[in-house]
């Protein structure tokens, strides 16, 4: 699967999975790195708590528009209601889907 994603396929769904895969690997790498540092257990716990607070803060402070668009994009991908070449009409706007 990873080899397929690295060949440069332009499938949008593959890009999302690849980006999610890299994000999860990066987070796991940071946690493992913190666990392997030669420091006291109490300081290690504080560093892991700090990492959790930073991650929570990043999620909490991100813009609602970004999160709304991200959730809408995931919803559209899950439902597969339209594909490239379809025509859409929203209020007064009318257009053709060129890519997803």
pLDDT in tens, the chain (100 residues): 445 445 555 566 778 889 889 989 998 999 999 999 899 999 999 999 999 999 888 877 766 777 788 888 888 888 877 788 888 888 899 999 888 7
DSSP sequence for 4-30: HHHTT---HHHHHHHHHHHHHHHHHHH
Q: Is the dihedral of CA 39, 41, 47, 51 positive or negative?
A: positive
φ, ψ of residue 40 to 5 degrees: the values are: -65, 155
What pLDDT does 9 receive?
Answer: 52
Domain ranges of the chain: 2-96
What pLDDT does 1 receive?
Answer: 47
Cα–Cα distance for residue pair 66/9, rounded to 1 Å: 26
First to last CA, the chain: 21
Cα–Cα distance for residue pair 41/90, rounded to 1 Å: 57
Q: What is the pTM of this model?
A: 0.50
């Amino acid at each position: 699967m990873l080899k397929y994603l690295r060949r440069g396929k332009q499938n949008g769904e593959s890009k999302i999975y690849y980006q999610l895969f890299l994000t999860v690997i990066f987070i796991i790498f940071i946690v493992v790195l913190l666990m392997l540092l030669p420091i006291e257990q109490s300081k290690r716990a504080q560093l892991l708590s700090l990492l959790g607070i930073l991650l929570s803060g990043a999620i909490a402070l991100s813009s609602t528009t970004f999160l709304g668009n991200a959730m809408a994009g995931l919803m559209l991908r899950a439902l597969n209601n339209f594909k490239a070449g379809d025509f859409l009409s929203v209020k007064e706007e009318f257009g053709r889907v060129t890519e997803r």
